[in-house]
Amino acid sequence: MKKVDFVDLKAQYKTIQQELQENIDRVIESCAFIGGPFLNGFEKNFADFCGVKHAIGVSSGTSALHLALTALGIGKGDEVIVPVNTFIATVEAIVHTGAKPVFVDMDSDNYNIAIEQIESKVTDNTAAILPVHLYGQPVDMDKVLAIAKRHKIFVVEDACQAHGAGYNGRKVGSIGDIAAFSFYPGKNLGAYGDGGMVTTNNSEFADKVLYLKDHGSVEKYYHKVIGYNYRLDGMQAAILDVKLRHLPDWNESRRKNAALYTELLQDVEGVKLPTEIDNASSVYHLYVIQVDTDRDELREYLGEQGIASGLHYPVPCHLQPAFSSLGYKEGDFPESERYAKRIISLPMFPELSPNEIEYGCEHIKSGVTRG
Ligand SMILES: *Cc1c(COP(=O)(O)O)cnc(C)c1O
């Protein structure tokens, strides 16, 4: 039987083994484990890649979000507007600052925050909107920025799934006031461990992130504020710097894979495919379809054929027990709730072959018509 993985990090490693090994050796030989030239070099290259003035390496996407919000001065008494259809870390970061997350339902066409519902959630306490470029698909940022401007609130981008995604000639992570990226191994740009990045064009915010991530210290053993140990280490930076050179090609391969999925599945009845918004280019961190048939049965059937799949995400954030104290209940966000029961994420990574995609699509077809 054929086997189609959901992601195959080994396949990617094999294509860059030599370059990686050389850079890892350099880190060890120079003992540049914390801070130093590998971190500085990668930060500069990532800033250039995003088209942004400042990029500060941090320990994860979650710490990037936490620091981004903290650098804006967001905390107790503030509210942050966030989509309910996201990975839990987006919301955790808000809670960790002491601010209150205020959920918004999803747009049924592009899976991102329902922009037309944002303004009704703005109160005197709203400090920021935190849109998520989910699955690698950019949020329609001009509309979000217009709302933020009207109400004089910040925009924090969660770009953890969207390294390199384009919007109106810019890259995500350079559009709002500040942004967060994750280098979790399975992301489009993944470390060999944990890692993250904060990007911004604002020097004051960048400065704050710089000392907050390192115990609030502006000079060794002189601490301006109480900070965190949220540093990105030299080894991960050296690995990420090598991988960054390949990211444009890898993103292009993901787009090709997505196009083939779309071509093969577009006429299948009872299957809804992802679409892209105008003036934007998704980097397809995930390719997520919706099905009318029993989702769990279809997943099981695909599994029997050797085809892996995922759920992103099975429970919308407002129904997670972790957030029960926020007081939301079933029925509050009908679109996200309905969607969570219908979705399947298909195998998606740059090295996925046309053969594997064809095999997967054949069985999705036979699976949904099986009834
Ligand atoms: C992965 C992810 C995060 C968190 O990143 P970590 O590096 O795992 O902390 C936050 N938001 C979204 C949307 C993510 O996909």
Cα 290 to middle of ligand 1, angstroms: 23
Q: Which residues contact 198 (CB under 8 A, 6 or more apart)?
A: 54, 55, 56, 58, 64, 67, 68, 71, 178, 179, 180, 181, 206, 209
Mean predicted lDDT score pLDDT of the chain: 97
Mean pLDDT of all residues in 2-9 = 95
Mean pLDDT of all residues in 265-288 = 96
Closest Cα to atom 7 of ligand 1: 61
Checking if the pLDDT of 91 tops 80, the result is yes
Q: Are strands 126-129 and 79-83 parallel, antiparallel or unpaired?
A: parallel
Please, is 12 exposed, middle or buried when counting C-beta atoms within 10 Å of its C-beta (0-12, 13-18, 19+)? middle
**Which atom of ligand 1 lies at the shortest distance from residue 184's CA?**
7
Angle between helices 88-97 and 61-71 (to 10 degrees): 40
Pocket flag, ligand 1, residue 198 (CB < 6 Å):
no
Q: Are strands 100-104 and 79-83 parallel, antiparallel or unpaired?
A: parallel
Pocket flag, ligand 1, residue 182 (CB < 6 Å):
yes
Checking if the pLDDT of 271 tops 90, the result is yes
pLDDT in tens, 6-41: 999 999 999 999 999 999 999 999 999 999 999 999
pLDDT in tens, 110-164: 999 999 999 999 999 999 999 999 999 999 999 999 999 999 999 999 999 999 9
Distance CA 116, CA 125 (A): 19
Pocket flag, ligand 1, residue 200 (CB < 6 Å):
no
What does the DSSP assignment read for 251-281?
A: HHHHHHHHHHHHHHHTT-TTEE-----TTEE
Cα 222 to middle of ligand 1, angstroms: 31
- Cα separations (Å) of 176 from 130, 212, 371? 9, 20, 45
Pocket flag, ligand 1, residue 190 (CB < 6 Å):
no
DSSP three-state, residue 167 = strand
Mean pLDDT of all residues in 268-293 = 96
Checking if the pLDDT of 73 tops 70, the result is yes
- Quote the pLDDT of residue 371: 56
- Quote the pLDDT of residue 327: 96
Backbone angles phi, psi at 233, to 5 degrees: -85, 160
Distance CA 343, CA 299 (A): 10
Pocket flag, ligand 1, residue 68 (CB < 6 Å):
no
**Which atom of ligand 1 lies at the shortest distance from residue 182's CA?**
7
Mean pLDDT of all residues in 335-359 = 98
Residue with tokens 């981008």: 157
Q: What is the dihedral of CA 70, 76, 78, 81, to 10 degrees?
A: 70
Angle between helices 61-71 and 203-212 (to 10 degrees): 120
Diameter of the chain measured on Cα atoms? 67
Checking if the pLDDT of 356 tops 90, the result is yes
Confidence of residue 67 (pLDDT cuts 50, 70, 90): very high
Cα 252 to middle of ligand 1, angstroms: 22
pLDDT in tens, 198-214: 999 999 999 999 999 99
Confidence of residue 54 (pLDDT cuts 50, 70, 90): very high
Confidence of residue 370 (pLDDT cuts 50, 70, 90): confident
Contact 257, 284 (CB under 8 A): yes
Distance CA 224, CA 201 (A): 23
Percent of the chain residues topping a pLDDT of 70:
100
Mean pLDDT of all residues in 270-280 = 96
Residue 164 falls in which region: left (phi positive, over 0), alpha (psi -120 to 50) or beta: left
pTM: 0.98
Distance CA 347, CA 307 (A): 8
- Quote the pLDDT of residue 369: 84
Pocket flag, ligand 1, residue 136 (CB < 6 Å):
no
